Chains A and B, each alone.
Chain A
Amino acid sequence: SQQGEEDPQALSIQEGENATMNCSYKTSINNLQWYRQNSGRGLVHLILIRSNEREKHSGRLRVTLDTSKKSSSLLITASRAADTASYFCATGANFGNEKLTFGTGTRLTIIP
């Protein structure tokens, strides 16, 4: 079963607008990561936030983590057509279990 559930499943916005995706998870985590996937093949790591962090930035990306609500959000500012892709959250727990568990993904479409 999936640990993470992304919301919304699909999102379409105009180029230049901000895109926000949310992820909820069920069990305790060590870190939470966001990945991007183009064309249904390999995933690319975007950002990692640890369980003791609340917010992290990388370029146009901003990630927040609320461990009390077991949720995270990914904000992409000033979106570009090249941001069109599927975005997945993934949770890692090093409590004797090092597999990274992925959510169901959000399909983001940027309209030029």
Chain B
Amino acid sequence: GAGVSQSPSNKVTEKGKDVELRCDPISGHTALYWYRQRLGQGLEFLIYFQGNSAPDKSGLPSDRFSAERTGESVSTLTIQRTQQEDSAVYLCASSFGGQGVEKLFFGSGTQLSVL
């Protein structure tokens, strides 16, 4: 596709369940980012992938959060044993990367609601 694609667009889950969020970056983009945005707040960095380098996981809030990326393609963000405070919009972005931080292209996000 032409842009960054995220699925699902909305996810409602019960507290304690695991969820998996998917991101398809723009083809050819080596850098991929996950951010979290709580209602009315700014973007909170979660994790960054660049090519085959070890990911920067410094923003993951707890060990319940993990993310994977296969090569320079799809990424999945997994949240285990979800809590109500995990409710937020999870945004994925990609860029050409490798030359310092440049313009990011964002997906439309996944709205996660934990009941």
Contacts and interface: CB of A to CB of B under 8 A. Distances in A.
Contacts of A48: 102-103
B1 interface: no
Contact of B107 (A42, A45, A92, A93): A42
Interface residues of B, number: 30
Interface residues of A, number: 26
Given A41-B89, A98-B48, A99-B56, A104 B101 contact: no
A40 B89 contact: yes
Given A41-B108, A98-B97, A2 B42 contact: yes
B37 interface: yes
**Interface of chain B: mostly helix, strand, loop or mixed:** loop
A90 B105 CA distance: 13
A22 interface: no
B101 A102 contact: no
A41 B109 contact: yes
B37 A40 contact: yes
Given A2-B42, A41-B108, A42-B91, A102 B35 contact: yes
9 contacts: A35-B104, A42-B108, A45-B104, A48-B102, A48-B103, A98-B48, A100-B101, A102-B42, A104-B42
Interface of B: 4, 31, 33, 35, 37, 39, 41-43, 45, 48, 50, 56, 58-59, 89, 91, 93, 97, 99-109
